[in-house]
Amino acid sequence: MKRLFFLLLIIIAISSCKNSGNGELTGVDNRPKFFQPDPYGMTFIPLGSYTMGVGEQDIPYTQMNTPKTVTVGSFYMDETEITNNEYRQFVFWVRDSIARLLMGEINPEEFYIEENPNTGELYDPPYLNWETTIEWDEEETAQTLEEMYLPENERYFRKKEIDTRKLNFEYYWIDLHAAAKKEKEPDLDSTILENPSLVNRPKNRIGRDQFVRKETINVYPDTLCWIHDFAYSYNEPLAKTYFWHPTYDNYPVVGVTWKQARAFCVWRTNLFNSYLESREQAGLNDFRLPTESEWEWAARGGEAANPFPWGGPYSRNDKGCLLANFKPNRGNYVDDGGTTPVIAGHYPANSFGLYDMAGNVSEWTNSAFDESANIFTWDLNPDYSYHAKFNDPISMKRKVIRGGSWKDIEYYLLVSTRDYEYQDTAKSYIGFRCVQSYLGRSKNDNPSRASNVY
């Protein structure tokens, strides 16, 4: 018995040594291996440093773009602006999720997932079952979903159409800037004398729920932007067909507000990370709108002195062909091959493989607009962002747009030109593209400390 007892002690001792890495600091065992693939439709933008701001000219003498050397980290960016068909996937997802909510009220077994099949945990609220197909033309289904359609008094020629006013996307985000602020907790007055350090305790330890923001956004583009942007111009055909007709599937989406573009990024993040989670893979960084500094670095194509995304100081190539869709000369719109927006990716890409970084449609950035932003922002990943509330002054709702559009003169195609629009406005000349921060420093990094590779 004694020999058996000592044998057990030896086994336990050996096992303990093995689990602790022989007393050395080796980190946690069995960590999953990770390889970050290039997201579909995106191109890698390497980290870099450049002089952000006006290079040669400031035609309107606005003096709102002070030159400043900045550095940005690596990220992915969409090769083209988000197209009508890509944005329509978002709209259809919202439509179908609303339909499943309604169908689940009468048929929860098919349209709701109310229990974890592995653990028996009950979901409250339940998840939507996307495996079940909605038979829109089936009689009982049509009756259940009737409230999603326009009321009869708003229909014409007996057309039964989805009421786009009901296509609302509800989402949540965490206000990290508010969480990072250090403020005195209101309930600590009686304990300050015992522990004075609690006075400057980070606010994010009070309760995470204080920094979770809920927003509900209608996702359907403003198709009437073609008319209210140009009151004395006949643009009714575009107002009627630009977003939904197959002809325009690969044209950049317009009529989208800054808030709608941001909501699209949240939906795209959840869509992709949910897929990775279903395959037991680690999630990636969020999709988001680019900061102003990221956008300019990407537009320059890695060349610090590029006035245009394609390089040299001229808007025509050596054959005399215009290199972007804009308003050339005194208004000869057709000289560049298009009048209003053209198909995404029609003109040559820049050195990073990005299309239409100048012309076609201007693009929303995440950055709030301030004339002196280059003066007070940091020089590493600079960004000035502000989430304006409904009651904020209108000047606080300005967001930076970049790149110029089909209706702009050549000056707005310069990579350094700044402009703005209000976050709750939708224009026929503004679209957007997404970025995703790269996990790590740059591609082909060796994560081993011992390698000492720089």
Sequential pLDDT tens for the chain (454 residues): 556 555 555 555 555 545 555 788 888 888 877 778 889 999 999 999 999 986 656 666 566 677 889 999 999 999 999 999 999 999 999 999 999 999 999 999 999 999 888 888 888 889 999 999 999 989 999 999 999 999 999 998 888 999 999 999 999 998 888 888 755 444 444 444 455 554 555 544 567 788 899 999 999 999 999 999 998 999 999 999 999 999 999 999 999 999 999 999 999 999 999 998 888 888 889 999 999 999 999 999 988 788 999 988 889 988 889 999 999 988 899 999 899 999 999 999 999 999 999 999 999 999 999 988 888 898 999 999 998 888 999 999 999 999 999 999 999 999 999 999 999 999 999 999 999 999 988 887 755 444 444 4
Question: Do 61 and 193 sit in the same domain of this protein?
Answer: no
Q: Is 385 helix (H, G, I), strand (E, B) or coil?
A: coil
Beta strands at 122-128 and 112-115: parallel, antiparallel or unpaired: antiparallel
Q: What is the pTM of this model?
A: 0.88
The answer to whether residue 265 is domain-embedded is yes
Q: Is 120 helix (H, G, I), strand (E, B) or coil?
A: coil
Question: Do 189 and 285 sit in the same domain of this protein?
Answer: no
Region of 315 (left: φ > 0; alpha: ψ -120 to 50; beta: rest) is: alpha
How many domains would you assign to the chain? 2
**CA–CA separation, 92 and 88 (whole Å):** 6
Question: Do 265 and 307 sit in the same domain of this protein?
Answer: yes
Question: Do 190 and 289 sit in the same domain of this protein?
Answer: no
The answer to whether residue 130 is domain-embedded is no
Question: Do 185 and 333 sit in the same domain of this protein?
Answer: no
The answer to whether residue 146 is domain-embedded is no
Question: Do 195 and 281 sit in the same domain of this protein?
Answer: no
Question: Do 390 and 319 sit in the same domain of this protein?
Answer: yes
Question: Do 198 and 257 sit in the same domain of this protein?
Answer: no
The answer to whether residue 450 is domain-embedded is no
**CA–CA separation, 431 and 82 (whole Å):** 7
CB-based contact 286:104 (threshold 8 Å)? no
Question: Do 206 and 235 sit in the same domain of this protein?
Answer: no
Question: Do 274 and 388 sit in the same domain of this protein?
Answer: yes
The answer to whether residue 242 is domain-embedded is yes
Question: Do 306 and 401 sit in the same domain of this protein?
Answer: yes
**Which domain range does residue 180 map to?**
176-211
Question: Do 280 and 429 sit in the same domain of this protein?
Answer: yes
The answer to whether residue 421 is domain-embedded is yes
Cα distances (Å, whole numbers) of residue 201 to 94, 174, 181, 186, 188: 40, 19, 9, 11, 10
CATH number at residue 268: 3.90.1580.10
The answer to whether residue 297 is domain-embedded is yes
**CA–CA separation, 291 and 434 (whole Å):** 10
The answer to whether residue 139 is domain-embedded is no
Last residue of a domain, one of 211, 237, 272: 211
